[in-house]
Amino acid sequence: LLIFCVIEMKYMAIIIQARNSANNASLTQEDLRRQITLLHLKFYGALMAAIIAFWYMGQSNRSLYVLLLYSFWVPQIILNIITESRKPMHPYYVYGMSITRSVAPMYVFAVPNNFLKEVNPDFPTEPKMCQMLILWIVIQTAILFAQSKYG
């Protein structure tokens, strides 16, 4: 999952570079480097904060915490509302990202004999939380498609 996040951050850096060149922005190489550095800083800061928060308070509210962590389409939904964009992403991208991002928690929380059972035999399987997570991802995806269809 961490390697996937790093690859996705590289993709986001490429998007920033493309947006700046498409907007004919007169940004210097130093300004572009600063934007990419701030993006990486925000990402890794949020990742570390999420890991620390899960370590200290996520055990008691695991289901709610996982749902909050997997609200990955919410920023895009808000951006679509603010910018009034109709089709910001290709449907295959939305489907692909939704499915690939849900594989890890489904494995960890739904498969009874996953690798975490070797490390911590008391690690629970939570099928109800998996159902809630799938429903939450489907709701986010449906809102994205409704935004692209109805504006």
The pTM of the full predicted model, rounded to 2 decimals, is 0.70
Position 1 pLDDT exceeds 80: no
- Is residue 13 very low, low, confident or very high in pLDDT (cuts 50, 70, 90)? confident
Whole-angstrom CA distances from 18 to 11, 32, 33, 79, 96 are 11, 11, 13, 18, 22
Q: What is the pLDDT of residues 55-75, one digit of tens each?
A: 777 667 778 888 888 898 998
Half-sphere exposure (Cβ direction) of 113: Cα atoms closer than 13 Å: 0
What is residue 72's three-state secondary structure?
A: coil
CB burial of residue 130 (10 Å; 0-12, 13-18, 19+)? buried
Residues 6+ apart with CB under 8 A from 76: 88, 89, 144
Average pLDDT score over residue span 80-109: 87
Q: Does an H or E element contain 55, and which?
A: helix 29-57
